[in-house]
Structure formats: C-alpha cells, structure tokens
Structure 1
Amino acid sequence: MISVLICDDHALVRYGIAAVLEAHGEFRLVGAVGEGARAIELAQRERPQVVLMDLLMPGMNGVETTREIRRVSPDSQVLLLTSHEGDEPVLEVLRAGAISYLLKDTPPAELVQAIERAARGEATLHPRVAGAMVRALTQPRGAAG
C-alpha cells in the first residue's frame, strides 16, 4: 500500500482527493490537513511515501512546506496539485524538492497513476505545465512572450 498525506487549505478538495484514494485499494491515507505546519508534523511522524501538496495556502505556502517536508522526511515524494500553472512557481517548487506538478483539473485516474509513479520516484508534469516549462527554457532571455 502507498501511504499518502494530503495538504490543501480547501476542505472540499481534501475530501474529494481522499474519496478518490479510498476508491482504490492500494492507498493508505495518513492524514489530510489544511496547513503547511501540520503537514510537516505529520510527514515527520508518519513518513508518507507521497505528499499531495497545494501551492497557494495561507501562512506557509507549498514551496516552503515542500522544502521542509523533504528535510524532515527525505524519502517522502511531494506531488504538487494546484490550480496555478505559471512557469516560475513550477521551477521554484521543483527546486524545493517536489517530484511532480499536476493541475487540479487532472482526471482522477491520472492522479492515481501520478501518485503511483511518485511512490516509485518517477516524475509527472501536467501537459500544460510541461509546455510552459519548455517555452520558458527555450525562449531567448529578454524575449517578450
């Protein structure tokens, strides 16, 4: 079973993701919290294989929380699940230690597959995010776009 921790400041999102995970027998939910500090505590205690992390949260954001989780639980893989698809946050959170970046419009079956890949140490990028990353990396410096 893959142990999963959910961190999102919206209760409805946490409950929805938990329902998706419960529909599949291969996941064990170790917690569903709404703030970064609590996620760090649980990650340190429970050592989940995968942490589903929102990017934009009040207080400690997803980048800061990801960095801390990777420090206190280095074997936990962080999968960002957010509605924000700009290229700068993607680079920032990947540098902080996230393995994957998905958008909240990802179909449930694809989320399940991404969690399974993350547990194996494999990365997943939402197609629109991957496209933005390619454009950001290939656009000449100083070019408007």
Structure 2
Amino acid sequence: MLFALKCFCLVVLFCLVLGVEAVAHERLGSPALDPLAGFETRRLRVNQRYLQNMLEQVVIFGAALFGLALYSPDGAAMRAVLATAVVWVLARFAFWMGYHRSAAMRGLGPPGMALSVIVLVYVAGRIGFDVGGIVGAAIPSWHSWLSR
C-alpha cells in the first residue's frame, strides 16, 4: 500500500498540480487574475476544464490503484501498480494536449478513464470473490457490463 501511495503522489504531482499551476500561470499577469472579472482566454478555459476533469477522475483512479495494490500479492505483482500509474498519467497528458488542439482531440484521453474502470472492475470482482466466491465475483463484472 505504501508503494501505491508513492505512485498516487506522483500522479497527483504530474497531473493535478501541473493543472493547478497552468491555471494559475494563465491568471497571473492578465485581467483573469480576478476570476470575477469575466476575462477568460480559450487556453485558460481548457486548463480549467482539464483541472475539473482531473479532480473527478483522480478519485476513481485512486480507488482503482489502491485496490490493485491491495490484491497484488508480492513485489513482482506491484509492477502492475506502477505500470497502471504511468499509463494513466500518459493518457491524461494526451487528453490535455489534445484538448488544447481541438475539442475533438480530447478523444486521446478516454483510454485513461477506461484503464481506471477496468482496474476498478477487477478489484470489485476480487472483493466480490472474497465475500461470495464465484457468484460474488461475477456480480460486479455483470453489473458493469449491464451499465454500458
């Protein structure tokens, strides 16, 4: 769990903190310094939307990452935790850079959200198995399949 916490801290640094810094940088030295003035450039709006989206998704990713660490039996299996964090950060960067190019290029980011959901469904299946065996494991997977 300590390793997952370290990975999560790096995720927050590289994705959330950089988003906060980007918004602050856009505000400094412009009329946007006063957020109530109504001055917003396209770049500022994109950075704000990225930051909001990041806040929403980092919660889901954090639960998935810590759940994955919980069910990683040894150090070798913990490589999946690191790989998941790295791929997720790269997907967030792709989303952010794509969003700056055009709204349609935000489509580079959904694989990161898909990764979070896949890992979370895996963790839910493992929890279900712990509680109710095969039937308990099938329920979270079946439910997530139906919700599509």
Normalised TM-score (structure 1): 0.28
More helix by share: 2
Normalised TM-score (structure 2): 0.28
